[in-house]
Amino acid sequence: MEIAGPASGRMLPTLVLRGPQGEEVPLWRYRARCPLVILVHRGPTDLPWVRTFAARYADFHEAQAEVLAVGPEPLLGLPFPTLLDHGGRLAAALALQPPAIMVADRPGEVWAAWGDATLESLPDPDEVRSWLEYAMSECRECFCCELVWPAELMGR
């Protein structure tokens, strides 16, 4: 399944997942702070795929977005948070089958998502970054609006 385009009408669910040490981590802890790229993995077998995004984490962070790895087991050695979702509730809420990728804006609307696919058919970090930039440019909460007053009236 693929979700693509603005106004998908799908929101990230309000879930409490687990951190690597078993602590409760509500998804909203990340959701309202910045746009998100969520990598839903199947476990250690997907680690090489997740590492392709880890290698580009600075690019996503520069775009003021957070990357999350969510799956049934913790993946260690990543520069971004890893959350545990033993029952696959996040992917199921959006009718996606791991491995999956989601791009969500700050309020939690899903702008693009890919699942029910093989790793080879999922988009690469460049394509995901372009969706992220598109979502941020269209989201009022994610991207600063243009000034409507002339600079001379603003005292600049």
Query: Which pLDDT value is given to residue 117?
Result: 67
Q: Is there a contact between 101 and 73 (Cβ–Cβ < 8 Å)?
A: no
Report residue 144's pLDDT band, with 50, 70 and 90 as the boundaries.
very low
What SS3 class is residue 146?
Answer: coil
Taken in order of first residue, the domains within the chain and their CATH numbers are 2-154 (3.40.30.10)
pLDDT tens-digit map of 43-102: 999 999 999 999 999 999 998 899 999 999 989 999 999 999 989 999 999 889 999 999
Query: What's the pTM?
Result: 0.84
Q: Is there a contact between 131 and 103 (Cβ–Cβ < 8 Å)?
A: yes
